[in-house]
Structure 1
Amino acid sequence: MGIRSKVKDFIDIQYKLPKGLIGAYIGEKMVAQHKPETLWTIELLDIQPGEKVLELGCGSGYAMKLILEINKEIEVVGVDLSPVMIRSAAIRNKKTVQKEKAKLRLGNVKSLDFKDKQYEKLYSIHTLYFWEDLSATVKEIFRVLKPGGACVLTFSNGKDNEEWDEINRMIEHQLMPLMKETEFAGTELLKGPNSRGFHTAAVTGKKKL
């Protein structure tokens, strides 16, 4: 394996599970990179006063911060696999963490440490590529949502004139069928804004009442 391949593999691992100073830097880099799709995801969520919101893969807490700036009377909980990202998110959301409007948990999306039917809204931005067990994670999303609760799962599926067939196949043949089997209502695939040339999209669904 050449140096270039080793560097690429190292960076890919850092995007999946940021560690150390490089991981913290990548987390901050992603804040700037992902702003268009983050704003779009928040718009799709249509968060209402008093709702509880869960983010899977909160990273350095930028989306949480934006949501809490717009919606003062809600609670947002962020889950991430990386202790480095949890620390960064805590720093970015220091005031709302102190007020217990923002809460952070270290954890794995395939086994969430929450009771059933806790959240009205759930979202995830650029994490589903890294989910180790898609079926288990979809079941966990369904479990922690309240009846009528909605989820928005945002991702990239291409860049410029290139379509990423592997991602598109996973969405079409795995994720969306799993959501329908799990009795999400109105599951849709939506096209989002381009971000630095990357195509963005989201799968949305509502838990049946």
Structure 2
Amino acid sequence: MATSPVPERLRWAVGRLQLRAGHRVLEIGCGNGVAVALICAVPGVARVVAVDRSAAALRTAARRNAAEVTAGRAVFRHADLSTLESFEERFDRILAVNVNLFWTRSPTAEFRRLAGLLAPDGVLHLVYEPPHAARLDTLVGRLGDRLTAAGWAVGEVTRVDTPTPLLDVAARPG
């Protein structure tokens, strides 16, 4: 399958996860599976579970990561956070890139669900690439407010203003 170039935001986002051997990762809104491929390329990462609302995107993601799916290192689920089932395992990292519901709504129920999926030392990473750097302050404020209201503790906030604006808000259940 021909693949397109990897967007810089996804390389940056996966780098922000600080993955180690044995880590289990949940990606919310995986799209066509590019970040899953980057995560699976990290030596020793145990497993990636990726969910998306789009069945078509999941088919593309599964094809892109066919070897990892066969090996049991990548699993794709058709779901959104409101229908996401529980898993036997807990995740060391949860990644969501450009998932708008976290800053456009009041996602208390979704944050509660994610808190139950994190391992005790796990971290949630909300990563955004807004159209312009002026939006970064708005995102930081809204994400911080929503996380705090849902009982999360905002940890490290990392932003890149140029040349491409990028934001990572890392948080843990409070």
TM-score range relative to shorter protein: 0.7 to 0.9
Give yes or no for the alignment of 1:110 onto 2:82: yes
Equivalent residues in 2 for 1:23-172, closer than 5 Å: 32=5, 35-115=7-87, 118-128=90-100, 134-159=107-132, 163-164=134-135, 168-169=137-138, 171-172=140-141
Higher alpha-carbon deviation: 199-208 or 46-55: 199-208
Contact 1:116 1:143 in 2 (8 A): no
Which residue number corresponds to residue 157 of structure 2?
189
Whole-Å separation in 2 of the counterparts to 1:55 and 1:73: 14
Question: CA 1:117/1:74 → structure 2, altered by over 3 Å: closer, same or farther?
Answer: closer
Match of 1:205 among 142, 166, 171: 171
1:179 to 147, 167, 171: 147
Alpha-carbon separation, structure 2, partners of 1:115 and 1:143: 10
**Structure with higher helix content:** 1
Distance between the aligned counterparts of 1:188 and 1:138, measured in 2?
17
TM-score between both structures, scaled by the size of structure 2: 0.84
Query: What secondary structure is seen at the aligned counterpart in 2 of 1:157?
Result: coil
Q: Deviation per CA, 1:90-138: give whole Å up to 9, x if none.
A: 0000001001100000001234212486111110111235876522222
Say which is worse superposed, 59-68 or 139-148, in terms of deviation: 139-148
Cα-Cα RMSD? 2.6
Tell me if the contact between 2:30 and 2:36 (Cα under 8 Å) persists in the aligned partners: yes
**Letter matched to residue 163 of structure 1:** A
Is the CA contact (8 Å cut-off) linking 1:192 and 1:202 kept in structure 2?
Answer: no
CA separation in 2, counterparts of 1:132 and 1:182?
A: 12
Instruction: Specify the code of the residue in structure 1 equivalent to 2:156.
Output: E
Identity %: 22
Output the TM-score relative to the length of structure 1: 0.71
Checking the alignment, whether the CA contact within 8 Å between 1:54 and 1:77 is kept in structure 2 is yes
Q: Which has the larger radius of gyration?
A: 1
User: How far has the Cα of 1:151 moved from its partner?
Assistant: 1.3
Q: Number of residue pairs matched?
A: 171
Rounded to whole Å, the distance in 2 between the matches of 1:106 and 1:132 is: 22
